[in-house]
Copies of this chain bind each other. A is one copy, B any other.
Amino acid sequence: MDRFVSTFTNKIDAKGRVSIPAPFRAVLERDGYPGGLYCYPSLDAAALDAGGERLAKKIDGLLSGLPDYSDERDELSVALYGDVQVLSIDGDGRIVLPENLRVRANLDAAVTFVGLGDKFQMWEPKAFEERRKEARSKVQVTRKLFAAGGRSSDDDGNEGARE
């Protein structure tokens, strides 16, 4: 198994360190990057995205699909490369979250790690709780639609989406 799954919540200590959940660590190791991971602010939420070598390749691929010296590429380069940080994992499986990243996700005392397959996200625990509640209620609705066997399109709330 080599995917990030399920969620964990760990504390940030006085030095700004956080333990990476052991299962995630195992995935990272298998992903080819010994001792480090890539991390950047999520584009569409107050959270951080992180992953290993595979994720980095994915980003590279995204960029290399655009011609050199094009505007789109410049923008994306700045937004992605500029915000990406390589966080090294210490001997105890911890990383240090730099100030600029912590601010982006309102992280202070603890971090909730959310597995998303190829990558995982880091949320402020309460913020994630909100997100999750929202997601659940939507799933309820979706299930009813399936159960009913028909689509009574009264209101397709176009909001949230769960990964």
Residues of A within 8 A of B (CB): 1, 4-7, 23, 36, 38, 43-46, 56, 60, 62-63, 68, 72, 74-86, 103-104, 106, 114-117, 131-132, 134-136, 138-140, 142-143, 146, 151-156, 158-163
Contacts and interface: CB of A to CB of B under 8 A. Distances in A.
A104 B38 CA distance: 32
B76 A114 contact: no
A135 to B, nearest CB: 4
A136 to B, nearest CB: 5
A142 B135 CA distance: 25
Given A63-B117, A81-B117, A160 B154 contact: yes
B114 A82 contact: yes
A7 B159 contact: no
A1 to B, nearest CB: 7
A82 B6 contact: yes
A139 to B, nearest CB: 4
